[in-house]
Amino acid sequence: MSESRPAAVLVLAAGEGRRMKSRLPKVLHSLCGRSMVGHALAVAGELDPERLVVVVGHGRDQVSAEVTGQSPGALVVVQDQQLGTGHAVRMVTETLGDFRGTVVVTYGDMPLLRGQTLRELVDVHHAGGNAVTVLTATGDPAGYGRIVRDADGAFLRIVEQRDATPAELAIDEYNSGCYAFDGALLADAIKRVTTDNTQQQEYLTDVVGILRGDGHPIGTVLAADVAEIHGVNDRVQLAAARRALNDRILEHWMRAGVTIVDPATTWVDVTVTIGQDAEIGPQVQLTGATAIADGARIGPGCLLEDTVVGEDAVLLHAVCRQAEVGPGVTVGPYAFLRPGTRISENAHIGCHVELKNAEVGPGAKVPHLTYVGDAHIGADANIGAGTIFANYDGVGKHHTDVGEHAFVGSNSVLVAPVAIGDGAYTAAGSVITGDVASGELGVARGRQHNSHGWVERNRQGTRSADAAKRARSE
């Protein structure tokens, strides 16, 4: 086994998180496209450990399901009673046995932690031949255990805030709770942790003290960004972490050649990809597996979920879910692309148009005020304003085919199943219930009848009647 490859990464995710005030276990609250524990698993996976272990407790079934979904190879260990971080690690060693190699400990509520920080922790641990290496940070240490050093700067101990002297409280370097341990030494020391404290719990910090007392070398790594080691305990902290992570994501894409007009109102999931020279306008949310190609323009006012957008496409004030938008396509404003919608190159989807499970061919136009459901529209076809593809009969959904270069007149209703052939027309205002063959004009509407003198007879004394009388006399 490579020295740089940990024997295990342990993600502690058993806490209840009462301050979240939620039916959902704390670590399942999401930010930027993943649950908190999902972020922890992704970062742990960057180390390529021999074993990835997650300790669950509160909401174990839900958390276990999330773990399995995010990292199918991860092992789940149950901590029936939440009796401290040391107890959680002891449950792992008692369940899985001792680890030979480096064991990294992280947390399921620390979504801003970077893989590169853990990699540095492991590298320093190996280079120093340490029994344990502690990830620390500097800044406001309120609530955290202080890192106490000797006059030469060497690590002495970790002192919890409630036990610290005034001099120790003034120390601004503090413990993150993340560690790299020698697995064999950890397995021995964890058995010697006691509950001799005010909370009567087993703390992992005590393992550090035990190893130091045994004369083993202890090292530290200072986190470059203090935000990385902050846990999330309530929804205020969750919002702050979401903002920080989103800012990190946006910076990444801007440095990669993406224009983001208003970062303050733009939200992008970690799972999204964006091509060079794409432009993301204000008030845009890109979520899930959304992929934006080079040169596309998204926004203002767009929500894209699991949607693929081709090169140089333009989407304005659009909501798209599980849709495919081809190169050069224009969508919006105020269009809704529902799951299964596929728009081919250079097509146009206009104002107040909704599509569901619909395929629109190259160069076709659905300009405005139209519903298209369960349909295929051929290349260069034109769908007039106010058209309805009536796909549902109250029991089942049915399909409509519109051929290439066909023209559907305004305010038509196409009652599925029905086919409009290549080059065929439907007259405006028609209710089409039968197929229209290629090159035919389908007309399905009553003849117009004008009742002479109706207004003057039936609306006497109104302005309409006066105007009609005046026009007739002239």
Structural contact between residues 285 and 307, judged by C-beta atoms closer than 8 angstroms:
no
Tens-digit pLDDT profile for residues 102-124: 999 999 999 999 999 999 999 99
Tens-digit pLDDT profile for residues 398-422: 999 999 999 999 999 999 999 999 9
Q: CA of 233: how far to CAs of 19, 33, 111, 323, in Å?
A: 6, 19, 12, 36
Cis peptide before 49 (omega within 30 of 0): no
Global pTM reads 0.92
Q: pLDDT at residue 1 above 50?
A: no
Question: What is the C-alpha separation between 201 and 244, in angstroms, rounded?
Answer: 32
Q: pLDDT at residue 61 above 50?
A: yes
Specify the 3-state DSSP secondary structure of 360: strand
Positions annotated as catalytic residues are 368
Residue for token pair 């932690």: 113
Q: Which tokens go with 300? A: 């203002």
Tens-digit pLDDT profile for residues 226-243: 999 999 999 999 999 999
Q: What is the DSSP letter of 257?
A: T
Q: pLDDT at residue 7 above 60?
A: yes
Give the orientation angle of helix 183-190 with respect to helix 205-213, to 10 degrees. Answer: 100
Tens-digit pLDDT profile for residues 201-216: 899 999 999 999 999 9
Return the pLDDT at 26: 97
Nearest to 383 by CA among 372, 392, 393: 372
Q: Which tokens go with 122? A: 């492991």
Rounded mean pLDDT, 245-274 = 98
Would you place residue 163 in the very low, low, confident or very high pLDDT band (cuts 50, 70, 90)?
Answer: confident
Q: pLDDT at residue 4 above 90?
A: no
Rounded mean pLDDT, 250-261 = 98
Give 412's contacts (C-beta < 8 A, 6+ positions apart).
384, 386, 387, 388, 426, 427, 428, 429, 430, 431, 432
* Cα angle 337, 339, 344; round to 5: 60
Percent of the chain clearing pLDDT 90 (strictly above): 94
Return the pLDDT at 3: 57
Give the orientation angle of helix 36-45 with respect to helix 60-70, to 10 degrees. Answer: 40
* pLDDT averaged over every residue in the chain: 96
Q: CA of 77: how far to CAs of 61, 68, 118, 265, in Å?
A: 12, 12, 22, 40
Max Cα distance, the chain (Å): 115
Rounded mean pLDDT, 69-83 = 95
Specify the 3-state DSSP secondary structure of 63: helix
Tens-digit pLDDT profile for residues 297-347: 999 999 999 999 999 999 999 999 999 999 999 999 999 999 999 999 999
Tens-digit pLDDT profile for residues 272-285: 999 999 999 999 99
| Burial call 58-88: b when 16+ CB within 10 Å, e when fewer | bbbeebbebbeebbeebbbbebeebbbbbbb
Structural contact between residues 260 and 250, judged by C-beta atoms closer than 8 angstroms:
yes
Residue for token pair 């080691």: 229
Structural contact between residues 322 and 342, judged by C-beta atoms closer than 8 angstroms:
no
Tens-digit pLDDT profile for residues 358-370: 999 999 999 999 9
Nearest to 421 by CA among 397, 399, 439: 439
Q: pLDDT at residue 2 above 70?
A: no
Rounded mean pLDDT, 256-271 = 98
